[in-house]
A and B are shown apart, each in its own frame.
Chain A
Amino acid sequence: MIRTALFCLPFAALLLATSASAGDLQIDLQGIRTHTGTVRLALVDSAAGWDGKAAPVQGQTLVPVADAAHVVFRNLPADDYAVLVTHDENDNGKLDTNVVGIPVEGYGFSNNPQVQRKPTFDEARVQVPANGASITIALR
């Protein structure tokens, strides 16, 4: 057993190295205003995915315990992606909006576009090369 474990270690290290540098999208989430509910991230690779006409490439959820969090999407083929983050603060399964359609819970987009609307895929687009990328998303 011990031998096996030792034998495996270099492979484990190799695997770790691969997942840390090749095709991973590392995301620093900032500005989580309340430590309740669920933060959801959707990763898409096309305008169709961005507009809800195709399934996301990957999705993740996390339970916020601090103002910041770290999320990794692993093993992504080199491509352009966009990330949509919503914070369902009261865990009712949706991003609450008011009667005019303006969000009253937190949200954010890759590339942090300086727009007061849902950005386009192009505006939220980030490049993930074969060796991965690191981005910061500021929730608002």
Chain B
Amino acid sequence: MDRRRFLRSLLSATTTAVIGASALRSLPAFAGDAAQFAAARDQHPWLTGWRSVTTETLGPATVPLQGRLPQGLAGTLYRNGPAWTERDGFRYDHWFDGDGMVHGWRFNGDGTLTHRARMVATPKFTREQKAGRFLYPAAGTVVPDVQPVRNNDDANAANTSVIRINGRLFALCEAGSAFELDPDDLTTLGPTTWRADLATVPFSAHPLVDRDGTVWNFGSLSLLGGTGLLIWMIGADGQLRSASVVDTPFMGYLHAFAMTDTHLVFMLMPFDYKEDGGAFFERLRFAPDRACRIAVVPKAAPDTAQWFEAAFTAAYHFGDAFQRNGRIVMRTVRHDNIDEARSPMREAMAGDAAHAVNSNASLRELHLDLRTGKAHWEDTGIQGIEFPLFDTRSAGNRGARLYAPAMQGETTAPYFNAVAGYDVARGRREIHRYGRDILAEEHVFVPRPGSRNADDGWLVGTLLDAANQRSGIAVLDAQRIDEGPVAQAWLPYAVPLGFHGTFAARG
């Protein structure tokens, strides 16, 4: 790491610590009321997707699989999501605030599936559990009588995603450390310090895994009040290879990134930070009149970047990126309404079923010409998409097929009720609609063992059946999505909707 440059970037940075800034003032709380939400959920059973859990564990529950599990599919789908959203009658009003609960959905290989889930025992969760109320700053809700934190990890909700590295399991959240969990019983082993001087430096919720198992990730130093991106390179053995800093031209927001075989691509969204108090996402004002800046970072020299500018786009998630003829194309999920993007499913969190909407998102491609340094957007015409994933074995010089939850036909919840596969270049979509009362989450692509063909494998995704108040899991053949699940299982209970997962194949 170029330490001098790193320090210089810090010196030039704003001195406000973003994470803790919400602790500076105690505003009246406008957060949701737990009783109000409960009453609304009685009327609108789909709101169960945003209901708080009240126990530190769920399950284990072993249930029969319907259908037939494909031969070769064995292992566990791990998922994470905000789950503990209420304490002492106070309810968070931002979906990103709930403390993380990690789920393991294990295919036992004998026609059954076992689900278990456990709250991540972060310092925040552990102390709040003891106190019986929320104590620490949240990303999107002003918490009354908030307590000062030692550092960002005191406010870490560990609630966004999970990754397995060399058999180890980590719960991830973008503003702090990865928390390591026991992959079997999901108990928390503690925050991960990859190197002593990098303690608590953010390790984002969207690491990407290279073909050789190398894990790339970033940590946004703007979340600590500085500027710059820390770029993590972790070997397939789980050891830190390098931590590099790329200076950034402004305090931009990013949630995820994409990569090609040779480059990492980071898109920074410009924002203004309102100084009149409130939680991070309340104060964050995207600045659509200013351009996004995009850093293209060579994997071979991760402390350098070629910078691009492109018209503002609000995005949390990206699909694949590929490189051809001196040009990188990055698939981007654009949120059309930037206010909704600041607080997705806000009305659902508040129990306001009548006004709840699923932020409309469309798929765009960002074209980055490495020779001219110019960038531009191209629309794909694909609407109603979020949480896209793809087969990482896909060729690096053309677009991958994308898999994502979708919306189709009549639905009781303003949420995804289907899963689709997209051939973006050909403009083709294959879709399976689960039904009117089903809420569909991210579907992870699982490659067929022994096969080298891209897209030869299955989609494994979780569901909430609002009518029957139960959660479930479905397995589809990735090349026959429209035929529906080949195997499916339902739990005797419902769990809150989450965000991201990873499939750990059993060897």
Taking beta carbons and an 8 Å cutoff, which residues of A are in contact with B? 96, 98-104, 106-107, 112-117, 138, 140
User: Interface of chain A, helix or strand or loop or mixed?
Assistant: loop
Residue of A nearest to B21 (CB): A116
* CB-defined contacts of B149 to chain A, threshold 8 Å: 116, 140
Assess whether A100 is in contact with B10, with CB atoms less than 8 Å apart: yes
Taking a contact as CB atoms closer than 8 A, the residue among B15, B150, B221 that contacts A117 in the complex is B15
Q: Contacts A116-B19, A117-B15, A138-B147 given; 17 further ones with Cβ under 8 A? A: A96-B196, A98-B197, A99-B6, A100-B201, A102-B224, A103-B151, A104-B199, A112-B148, A114-B24, A115-B20, A115-B148, A116-B21, A116-B23, A116-B148, A140-B148, A140-B149, A140-B150
Taking a contact as CB atoms closer than 8 A, the residue among A102, A106, A115 that contacts B24 in the complex is A115
* CB-defined contacts of A112 to chain B, threshold 8 Å: 148
CA gap between A62 and B24 in the complex, in Å: 30
Q: Tell me how far the C-beta of A103 lies from the nearest C-beta in chain B, rounded to whole angstroms.
A: 6
* CB-defined contacts of A106 to chain B, threshold 8 Å: 150
Assess whether A102 is in contact with B200, with CB atoms less than 8 Å apart: yes
Interface residues of B in 1-47 (CB under 8 A from A): 6, 10, 15, 17, 19-21, 23-24, 26
Assess whether B24 is in contact with A116, with CB atoms less than 8 Å apart: yes
Q: Name, among A96, A99, A104, the residue most crowded by chain B CB atoms within 10 Å (CB to CB).
A: A99
Assess whether B221 is in contact with A100, with CB atoms less than 8 Å apart: yes
Interface residues of B in 218-252 (CB under 8 A from A): 221, 224, 226
Taking beta carbons and an 8 Å cutoff, which residues of B are in contact with A? 6, 10, 15, 17, 19-21, 23-24, 26, 146-152, 154, 196-201, 221, 224, 226
* CB-defined contacts of B6 to chain A, threshold 8 Å: 99
CA gap between A117 and B19 in the complex, in Å: 11
Residue of B nearest to A101 (CB): B10
9 A-B pairs (CB sep. < 8 Å): A96-B196, A98-B198, A100-B10, A102-B151, A103-B151, A115-B148, A116-B17, A116-B148, A140-B150
Residue of B nearest to A140 (CB): B150
Q: Tell me how far the C-beta of A99 lies from the nearest C-beta in chain B, rounded to whole angstroms.
A: 5
Assess whether A103 is in contact with B24, with CB atoms less than 8 Å apart: no
Assess whether A114 is in contact with B26, with CB atoms less than 8 Å apart: yes
Assess whether A98 is in contact with B199, with CB atoms less than 8 Å apart: yes
Residue of A nearest to B10 (CB): A100
CA gap between A112 and B147 in the complex, in Å: 9
Assess whether A114 is in contact with B146, with CB atoms less than 8 Å apart: yes
Q: Tell me how far the C-beta of A124 lies from the nearest C-beta in chain B, rounded to whole angstroms.
A: 12
CA gap between A106 and B23 in the complex, in Å: 18
Residues A116 and B10 in contact in the complex (CB < 8 Å), given A99-B198, A104-B200: no
Q: Tell me how far the C-beta of B16 lies from the nearest C-beta in chain A, rounded to whole angstroms.
A: 8
Q: Tell me how far the C-beta of B70 lies from the nearest C-beta in chain A, rounded to whole angstroms.
A: 46
* CB-defined contacts of B152 to chain A, threshold 8 Å: 102
Assess whether B154 is in contact with A140, with CB atoms less than 8 Å apart: yes
Residue of B nearest to A107 (CB): B150
Q: Tell me how far the C-beta of A89 lies from the nearest C-beta in chain B, rounded to whole angstroms.
A: 11
CA gap between A9 and B17 in the complex, in Å: 56
* CB-defined contacts of B146 to chain A, threshold 8 Å: 114
Taking a contact as CB atoms closer than 8 A, the residue among B23, B196, B197, B226 that contacts A114 in the complex is B23
Q: Name, among A107, A115, A116, A140, the residue most crowded by chain B CB atoms within 10 Å (CB to CB).
A: A116
Q: Tell me how far the C-beta of A97 lies from the nearest C-beta in chain B, rounded to whole angstroms.
A: 8
CA gap between A112 and B148 in the complex, in Å: 8
CA gap between A112 and B24 in the complex, in Å: 12
* CB-defined contacts of A99 to chain B, threshold 8 Å: 6, 197-198, 201
Q: Tell me how far the C-beta of B289 lies from the nearest C-beta in chain A, rounded to whole angstroms.
A: 30
Residue of A nearest to B150 (CB): A140
Residue of B nearest to A116 (CB): B20
* CB-defined contacts of A107 to chain B, threshold 8 Å: 150
Q: Tell me how far the C-beta of A3 lies from the nearest C-beta in chain B, rounded to whole angstroms.
A: 55
Q: Tell me how far the C-beta of A23 lies from the nearest C-beta in chain B, rounded to whole angstroms.
A: 29
* CB-defined contacts of B197 to chain A, threshold 8 Å: 98-99
Assess whether B24 is in contact with A98, with CB atoms less than 8 Å apart: no
Q: Lowest 6 A-B CB distances belong to which pairs?
A: A116-B20, A140-B150, A116-B17, A104-B199, A99-B197, A102-B151
Assess whether A117 is in contact with B201, with CB atoms less than 8 Å apart: no
Residues A114 and B148 in contact in the complex (CB < 8 Å), given A99-B6, A100-B224, A100-B226: yes
CA gap between A116 and B19 in the complex, in Å: 8
* CB-defined contacts of B24 to chain A, threshold 8 Å: 114-116
Assess whether B17 is in contact with A98, with CB atoms less than 8 Å apart: no
* CB-defined contacts of B19 to chain A, threshold 8 Å: 116
Residue of A nearest to B219 (CB): A100
